[in-house]
Amino acid sequence: MEKSMNEESEVKGGMWALQQKFDPPMDEEASRLKHMNTESKCSTLLLVRLAFQSLGVVYGDLGTSPLYVFYNTFPKGINDTEDVVGALSLIIYSLTLVPLIKYVFIVCRASDNGQGGTFALYSLLCRHAKISTIPNQHRTDEKLTTYIYTPTHENSFPEKTKKCLEAHALKKNALLVLVLVGTCMVIGDGILTPAISVLSASSGIKVTHPGMDNDFIVVVAVFILIGLFCLQHHGPDKVGWLFAPIVLLWFILIGGIGIYNILKHDKTVLRAFSPLHIYWYFKRRGKDGWTSLGGIMLSITGTEALFADLAHYPLSAIQIAFTTVVFPCLLLAYCGQAAYLMKNKEQVFDAFYHSIPEAIYWPMFVIATLSAIVASQASISATFSIINQACALGCFPRVKVVHTSRKFLGQIYIPDINWALMILCILVTTGFKNQTQIGNAYGKFYCNNLYIRFSLLTGTAVVIVMLVTTFLMILIMLLVWHCNWFLVFIMTFLSLIVECTYFSAVLIKIDQGAWVPLAIAAVFLLIMYVWHYGTVKRYEFEMQNKISMGWILNLGPSLGLVRVPGIGLVYTELASGVPRIFSHFITNLPAIHTVVVFVCVKSLPVYSVPEDERFLVKRIGPKNYHIFRCVARYGYKDQKKDDEFEKKLLDSIFLFVKLESLMDGSSDSDEYSLYEQDVSGLSDKNTFSSVVDILISDDDTVSETGTETETASSHGGGGREEIEFLTRCRDAGVVHILGNTVVKARRDSGCYKKICIDYLYAFLRKICRENSVIFNVPHESLLNVGQVFFV
């Protein structure tokens, strides 16, 4: 083993050997931290409570679809009542195949330890294949308790798929763009869903007051939307408790009204459970039947938000709520409306409100309006979740994330995104007013025409998200679940038949308003891709320009400067090597702190990192240099802003020194001490042998601040002395050194790169949150070091 390592060092050169000796990887530290940490399972009572709460956050959008599905399916009226049965059959099987079977029982199982959404699927894939475009992965990451990884068998189909993805950067970028497209469509849905839900509920006033001005309804909707977004700072937990009773009452009422209409009007609509009526529906209506799928698809809107909202509630709670309340009540509601339309086909416009018994009309109108407000909550909460995941994975500018619950870290609120969504939602609501033609040959009033346009917008966003999820699920089933390729083919084939059919139905209506979600998604896609592109280029520049250990060691224990009392925390994105900012610092200032810690805050493709596995600490160089490296690891669910970040970081260094001294005292071969190492292997072949000789001759030297030399033979005494020394340095003061980096494109760069880096990326960096704010660094302890990166 030792021979092979020596041979490897000879091949890679003396620099690599020197780097491994004085700045080795953190494998041992990672192994030492790992423990069997598992999240406690929910009790039955807590599970029921969470299932109840999930109604108010997750299922509002899906639950309010009966308000507008039949009207959007038959915008020109109903010619044959058998078409109602055919449409009902399509709704029944769409609800069964997509939300129930595909999402609740298949896709949701692919969650990343309870975290849903396209980015959660992507992070899951990044752990099972080296497809991340930011090359900061390290084998120590795999030793985390939460880093769940299942290896594939050699020469198996999943292994070949994995190698195919890892082989080309183009495939990695294509996969990232696919994920970003799905994410941006969910954000677009978060803008459009509140508008259509609130408008559709407000239109109930027109049923009893047909002479009411249409602009008044839009104004009422805008005020309701403002109130909804103002409630978001309370978080999903409080919002869930507030909205859950409303949604539960809503589902009970629509289910009960459905039973009433079935019994009163037409029990024969239940024959729609036969899929043959789908065939007869398309045979009768032809092209009109195909284009009507845009309305049918609205019955499953909210499904994509259901998956993204897994971050807020456990899967079992969501499954219980869907199977016991949501699914049966929705089926009864649609069957009841169909039964009513069989006898009153001319009232297809606002069929929901017309089908309500007169005695409970106004109470039902109030509940419908409140439920429509709640419907927006699912898409808003989903947007918060995926933006948080995107920030953690380097695909979105840094924003303020407020964790609204101590029990459930996934429950968050993002103020900047909240107000941006509110403004965009209001603009879309009022903007479409000016583009809508009032009335048509069938006497439709303004708001109904407006709903069709909003339905097209929502439908386009929803179906694209579903297609992206299907493609990602192919890789999940192969690389993570190791499913047989035939099973993967069957699942993919069935999903694509349904989703591609719906997609083709909404695609032909781009000119009728379906371009809006595409435009919104394009803007967010540009923001995400530019930020990610700039982040990758900056990381690559730092990797290529990091400082060699030979240069550091050649400076001696004083680093060629006056070592002033205190601890300097140098923040860097590098988890290995000495960052360029450090050389820039020491060549421009005459002094440096007696203790230097390179701090790397690293986001991993995991949902969370246990607190006691957060920090990895390692010594860089000899002990009398007093240089450490600390890697602070976070998952995308973790809260980075910690008032005790500095204290926890320093405590981890103190703990490392104590453990190091214990190991020194119990072993003859000291892994950490420079002077007990065998350097003869380097003396012949290493060009930096003179550096090593200098270090050996400096065995008994004292730094310029009077630091005592620590030797391995101290058997723990040196550890106590260093603890006391570190304590004195901490009491002298801690300074946070951050790089105030300006990133510019090189002069020989192309026009595309210059626009991305010099203008778009530079603008995004100006408006995003500073790292000092995220890590809660006090201004009096902050030192910014300016530098320019030409990438």
Q: Is the torsion defined by CA of 512, 514, 517, 523 positive or negative? A: negative
Which range, 258-267, 311-320, 554-563, is most confident? 258-267
Average pLDDT of the residues of the chain: 77
Strand partners, 569: 597, 736
d(CA 280, CA 700): 93
Q: What is the mean pLDDT of residues 381-395?
A: 84
Residue 415 has pLDDT above 80, yes or no: yes
Return the pLDDT at 281.
94
Give the tokens for residue 783. Answer: 């030192």
Q: What is the per-residue pLDDT for 696?
A: 30
Taking a C-beta distance cutoff of 8 angstroms, is the pair 152, 479 a contact?
A: yes
Residue 35 banded pLDDT, cuts 50, 70, 90? very low
- Integer Cα distance of 346 and 349 in angstroms: 8
The torsion angles phi and psi of 569, rounded to 5 degrees, stand at: -95, 110
- With 0-12 / 13-18 / 19 or more C-beta atoms within 10 angstroms meaning exposed / middle / buried, residue 437 is exposed
Cα angle 210, 213, 219 (rounded to 5 degrees) comes to 125
Inform me whether the pLDDT recorded for 3 exceeds 60. Answer: no
Q: What confidence tier does 456 reach under pLDDT thresholds 50, 70, 90?
A: low
**Among 524, 230, 180, 181, CA closest to 376:** 230
Residues 412, 388: contact at Cβ < 8 Å? Answer: yes
What number of other Cβ atoms are within 10 A of residue 217's Cβ?
A: 21
Q: Count CA atoms closer than 13 A to 505's CA, side-chain side.
A: 26
Residue 360 or 23, more confident: 360
283-306 burial, b at 16+ Cβ within 10 Å, e below that, comes to eebeeebebbbbbbbbbbbbbbbb
**Tally of CB atoms within 10 A around 631:** 23
Residue 328 tokens read as: 């049966």
Residue 440, pLDDT score: 27
Q: How is residue 28 written in tokens?
A: 């041992």
For 41, the token pair is 């399972």
**Where is pLDDT greater, at 303 or 446?**
303
Residue 638 is classified by DSSP as: S
Least confident interval from 211-215, 406-410, 746-750: 406-410
Q: How many CA atoms lie within 13 A of 93 on its CB side?
A: 19
Give the side-chain half-sphere CA count within 13 A for 461.
30
Residue 682 Cα distances to 10, 547, 677, angstroms: 9, 20, 11
Average pLDDT over residues 435-457: 40
pLDDT band of 567, cuts 50, 70, 90: very high
Which regions of 361-458 does DSSP assign to beta strands (E)?
A: 402-403, 412-413
Helix, strand, or coil (residue 604): coil
**Higher pLDDT among residues 704 and 568, named by residue:** 568
Helix spans in 351-360 (H): 351-354
Predicted confidence at residue 468, as pLDDT, reads: 92
Alpha-carbon distance 295 to 542, whole Å? 52
Q: Please tell me the distance from the alpha carbon of residue 272 to that of residue 250, in angstroms, as a whole number.
A: 24
Q: Which has more pLDDT, 581 or 444?
A: 581
User: Which strands make up the sheet holding 591-603, listed edge to edge?
Assistant: 615-620, 627-634, 591-603, 562-572, 734-744, 782-790
Of 258-262, 582-586, 665-669, 697-701, which gets the smallest average pLDDT? 697-701
Run of H or E including 249? helix 235-264
Contacts of 463 (CB under 8 A, 6+ apart): 297, 499, 502, 503, 506
Q: What is the pLDDT of residue 789?
A: 80
pLDDT of residue 261: 95
Rounded to whole angstroms, the Cα distance separating 280 from 267 reads 20
User: Does residue 370 have a pLDDT over 60?
Assistant: yes
Question: What six digits make up the tokens of 606?
Answer: 């995991």
Alpha helices in 268-326 (DSSP H): 276-285, 287-291, 293-296, 303-308, 315-321
- The tens digit of pLDDT for each residue in 312-329 reads 778 888 899 999 999 999
Strands 615-620 and 591-603: unpaired
Listed in sequence order, the residues at least 6 apart from 265 whose beta carbon sits closer than 8 Å to its beta carbon are 339, 340, 342, 343, 344
The crossing angle, in degrees rounded to 10, of helices 169-202 and 214-230 is 120
What is the reported pLDDT for 670? 36
Q: Select the more confidently predicted residue: 662 or 236.
A: 662
How far is residue 630's CA from residue 52's CA, in Å, rounded to a whole number? 43
Q: What angle do CA 731, 736, 742 make, to 5 degrees?
A: 165
Query: In terms of pLDDT, which residue wins out, 607 or 358?
Result: 358
pLDDT confidence of residue 432: 62
Q: Which helix (H) or strand (E) holds 468?
A: helix 446-475
As a whole-number percent, the residues of the chain with pLDDT over 90 amount to 18
Cβ contacts of 34 within 8 Å, gap of 6 or more:
143, 144, 145, 613
Q: Average pLDDT in the 292-308 region? A: 83
- Per-residue pLDDT reduced to its tens digit, 672-719: 333 333 333 333 333 333 333 323 333 333 333 333 333 333 334 457
Task: Determine phi and psi for 784, rounding to 5 degrees.
Answer: -95, 135
The confidence score (pLDDT) of residue 588 equals 77
User: How much of the chain, in percent, has pLDDT values that exceed 70?
Assistant: 79
Confidence of residue 53 (pLDDT cuts 50, 70, 90): confident
Q: What average pLDDT does range 418-431 have in this prediction?
A: 85
Phi-psi region of 734 (alpha: psi -120 to 50; beta: other; left: phi over 0): beta
Identify which of 146, 139, 147 has the alpha carbon closest to the alpha carbon of residue 28.
139
Burial class (CB in 10 A: 0-12, 13-18, 19+), 197: buried
Nearest CA to 559 out of 590, 580, 581 is that of 590
Does pLDDT of 458 surpass 80?
no
Note whether 25 and 619 are within 8 A (CB).
Answer: no
3-state secondary structure 187-211: HHHHHHHHHHHHHHHHCHHHHHCCC
Higher pLDDT, 2 or 505: 505
pLDDT for res 95: 94
First to last CA, the chain: 40
Give buried/exposed letters for 634-656 (b at 16+ CB in 10 A, else e): bbbbbebebeebbeebbebbeeb
Q: How many angstroms separate the CA atoms of 547 and 87, rounded?
A: 67
> β-strands 627-634, 734-744: how paired?
unpaired
* The predicted structure's pLDDT at residue 513: 57
pLDDT band at 239 (very low <50, low <70, confident <90, very high): low
Rounded Cα distance, 305 and 376, in Å? 10
Residue-wise pLDDT tens digits, 599-637: 988 888 787 888 888 888 988 888 888 899 899 988 877
What does the alpha-carbon distance between residue 55 and residue 64 come to, in Å, rounded to a whole number? 12
Report angle CA 232, 237, 239 to the nearest 5 degrees: 45
For range 758-787, the mean pLDDT: 80
Tokens, residue 237? 């937990």
- At residue 207, the pLDDT reads 62
Return the number of other C-beta atoms located less than 10 Å from residue 190's C-beta. 28
- Token representation of residue 654: 């103190």
Each residue of 38-69: b (16+ CB within 10 Å) or e?
eeeebeeeebebbbbbbbbbbbbbbbbbbbbb
pLDDT digits (tens, 9 = 90+) for 480-529: 888 888 889 998 998 999 899 988 887 776 666 557 777 888 899 999 99
Confidence at residue 276, expressed as pLDDT on a 0 to 100 scale: 94
Task: Specify the amino acid at residue 789.
Answer: F
Name the residue with higher pLDDT: 709 or 381: 381
